[in-house]
């Protein structure tokens, strides 16, 4: 049942009526009365100009699911008398497409991992941050305040991003089908799990984790020969795949409904928490080769239209109540308190870095997921 226009639409309708009334009155008023004309002109400009003024305090946010929940956004809007427009992405490739849409990024702030932050800094898409305007950074754990020691966050003595959340990218397994935790990433290729493996749909991370499985020492800087060897290995993995996934909720549904046995957990502990909340009996392990790990950070773009509001958002994200929601709802570690045991914080983690050739990885990945045969990658 329709209850009439939504609040924003209702506001536009009322403004339209007001402007129409003002226009009619303006045509009828006696121009001999200068006071009447001035008053009516003020009324018309004030009323009909409201949409322009109202739209000035808008914040455009680019983020991952779970980083800007509705209640978190509404609280910020109320406190700062602003309107927040959130765009969610489900892969680094999608994030990059959004950031490169048009001449300048159509966003004010974004959440991205350190490798992407480094890339966008080099491309002059980000603007430096002033820590004096971000007092909540003082609440962060010491290692996250040591920004110069974190690759990708600083350049030429300037700070371009603030750590927000992180996770390892380990293996998630069904305890009933796999009673003993898998030790190696190579278990993804075990014929025993034919049709029972879930993989994340991403060129960059698949080539890097497969490089670990093959024992390559530099998973982010691969030679042409290594790239093609990995491509063949990823084609072989297709035999075991149930499907590829993009977001954690999708992976949870596939895992439970289709009784998957093993999954490359791109979202790490976030996926683990979702699966356990859904009743799945799953385990999480960092394989002996180590696991990729990401650190997502907040940054401000060069095209930010309201920089004080953008900085207020980043600072707001570091409030204890807001950061705690990452752990409570998403199972992710935050940068204010020590991580939960399941995060694998002390395990062998390989923090993701910029890769040698993004376009080449994406080109090969497109051929892999579309069904090219191994011999085509020579």
The 10 Å CB-count burial string (b at 16+, else e) for 347-368 is eebbbbbbbeebeebeebbeeb
Dihedral, CA atoms, 263, 250, 174, 93, nearest 10 degrees? 10
Average confidence (pLDDT) per 10 residues, the chain, 378 residues: 36 38 38 35 38 66 96 98 97 94 92 97 97 98 95 96 96 97 97 98 96 96 96 97 96 98 96 96 96 96 97 98 94 89 62 94 96 88
Q: Are 58-165+295-338 and 168-292+354-376 in the same CATH fold?
A: yes
Please give the pLDDT value at position 54. 43
How far CA 277 is from CA of 7, 65, 252, 282, 283, in Å, comes to 35, 17, 10, 11, 13
List, as one string, the DSSP characters of 260-325. Answer: --EEE-TTTHHHHHHHHHTT--EEEE--TT-EEEEEEEEEEETT-S-HHHHHHHHHHHTSHHHHHH
Please give the pLDDT value at position 103. 80
Quick one: 168-292+354-376 is in which CATH superfamily? Periplasmic binding protein-like II (3.40.190.10)
Q: Helix or strand or coil: residue 364?
A: helix
Q: Which of 148, 193, 159 is closest to 300 using CA atoms?
A: 159
- Tokens at 263, concatenated: 């999954």
Q: Which of 319, 294, 298, 318 is closest to 129 using CA atoms?
A: 298
Please give the pLDDT value at position 342. 45
Q: Helix or strand or coil: residue 106?
A: coil
Domain ranges of the chain: 7-46, 58-165+295-338, 168-292+354-376
Tokens 């002390």 found at: 346
Pick one of 3.40.190.10, 3.30.70.3150, 3.40.50.2300, 3.40.980.10 as the CATH number of 58-165+295-338: 3.40.190.10
The 10 Å CB-count burial string (b at 16+, else e) for 85-98 is ebebbbbbbbbbeb
Q: Quick check: pTM over 0.75?
A: yes
Please give the pLDDT value at position 30. 36
Burial category of 63 from C-beta neighbours within 10 Å (exposed 0-12, middle 13-18, buried 19 and up) = buried
């Amino acid at each position: 049942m329709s209850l009439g226009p939504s609040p924003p639409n209702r506001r536009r309708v009322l403004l339209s009526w007001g402007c129409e009334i003002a226009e009619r009155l303006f045509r009828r008023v006696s121009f001999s009365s200068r006071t009447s004309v001035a008053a009516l002109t003020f009324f018309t400009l004030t009323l009909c100009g409201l949409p322009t003024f109202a739209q000035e305090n808008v914040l455009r946010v680019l983020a991952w699911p779970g980083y800007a929940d509705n209640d978190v956004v509404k609280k910020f809007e109320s406190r700062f008398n602003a309107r927040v427009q959130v765009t969610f992405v489900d892969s680094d490739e999608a994030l990059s497409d959004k950031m490169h849409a048009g001449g300048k990024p159509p966003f004010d702030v974004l959440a991205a991992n350190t490798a992407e932050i480094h890339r966008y800094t080099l491309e002059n898409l980000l603007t430096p941050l002033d820590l004096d305007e971000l007092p909540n950074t003082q609440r962060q754990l010491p290692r996250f305040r040591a920004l110069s020691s974190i690759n990708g966050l600083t350049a030429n003595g300037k700070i371009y991003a603030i750590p927000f959340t992180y996770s390892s990218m380990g293996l998630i397994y069904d305890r009933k089908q796999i009673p003993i935790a898998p030790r190696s990433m190579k278990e993804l290729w075990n014929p025993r799990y034919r049709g029972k493996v879930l993989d994340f749909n991403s060129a960059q991370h698949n080539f890097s984790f497969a490089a670990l499985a093959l024992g390559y020492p530099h998973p982010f800087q691969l030679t042409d020969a290594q790239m093609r060897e990995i491509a063949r290995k990823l084609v072989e993995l297709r035999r075991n795949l149930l499907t590829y996934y993009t977001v954690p909720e999708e992976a949870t549904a596939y895992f439970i409904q289709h009784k998957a046995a093993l999954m490359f957990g791109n979202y790490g502990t976030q996926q683990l928490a979702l699966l356990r909340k859904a009743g799945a009996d799953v385990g999480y392990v960092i394989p002996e080769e180590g696991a990729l790990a990401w650190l997502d950070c907040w940054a401000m773009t060069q095209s930010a239209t309201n920089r004080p509001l953008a900085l207020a958002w980043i600072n707001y994200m570091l409030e204890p109540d807001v950061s705690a929601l990452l752990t409570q709802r998403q199972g992710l570690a935050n940068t204010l308190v020590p991580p939960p045991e399941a995060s694998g914080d002390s395990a062998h983690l390989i923090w993701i870095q910029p890769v040698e050739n993004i376009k080449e990885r994406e080109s090969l990945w497109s051929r892999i997921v579309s069904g090219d045969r191994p011999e085509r990658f020579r």
